Amino acid sequence: EAGVTQSPTHLIKTRGQQATLRCSPISGHTSVYWYQQALGLGLQFLLWYDEGEERNRGNFPPRFSGRQFPNYSSELNVNALELEDSALYLCASSLMGGLTDTQYFGPGTRLTVL
């Protein structure tokens, strides 16, 4: 069974541009989570989508946004890129979103902002 996939693997942008990152969850999973792992800051929760709706968001500015499509895949958009947005962006999926649901992580997209 295929795991969580993310594309692209690497993305290089310049300040002020927009970045779009994509995530395909494990088949049958309806919940998708986005996390940012910046150097020295650890893994921070960004967004949670379930059944096409945004369920929760972390402490990030509105220029971080996303959506979940009817096939449960998801997109993370980062507008007006800043240097500090350089990080590994991880997507995870779970069966339905719950206290004991295991989250399965993808390999991540490495975003570099120059």
Partner 1 sequence: DAKTTQPNSMESNEEEPVHLPCNHSTISGTDYIHWYRQLPSQGPEYVIHGLTSNVNNRMASLAIAEDRKSSTLILHRATLRDAAVYYCILSGAGSYQLTFGKGTKLSVIP
Q: Is 48 in the site for partner 1 (CB under 8 A)?
A: yes
Q: How far is the CB of 84 from partner 1 (least distance, A)?
A: 18
Q: How many residues bind partner 1 (CB under 8 A)?
A: 27
Minimum distance between the CB of residue 93 and partner 1, rounded to whole angstroms? 11
Q: Tokens representing 15?
A: 């300040």
Q: Which is nearer to partner 1, 14 or 56 (CB)?
A: 56
For the chain, where are the E strands, in sequence order? 5-7, 10-13, 19-24, 31-38, 42-50, 53-57, 64-68, 74-78, 87-94, 104-105, 109-113
**Residue 34, SS3 per DSSP:** strand
Question: Quick one: CA dihedral 29, 27, 7, 80, positive or negative?
Answer: negative
Q: Does 60 bind partner 1 (CB under 8 A)?
A: no
Looking at the Cβ atoms of 9 and 80, the one nearer to partner 1 is 9
Q: Which residues bind partner 1 (CB under 8 A)?
A: 4, 31, 33, 35, 42-45, 48, 55-56, 58, 90, 92, 94, 97-108
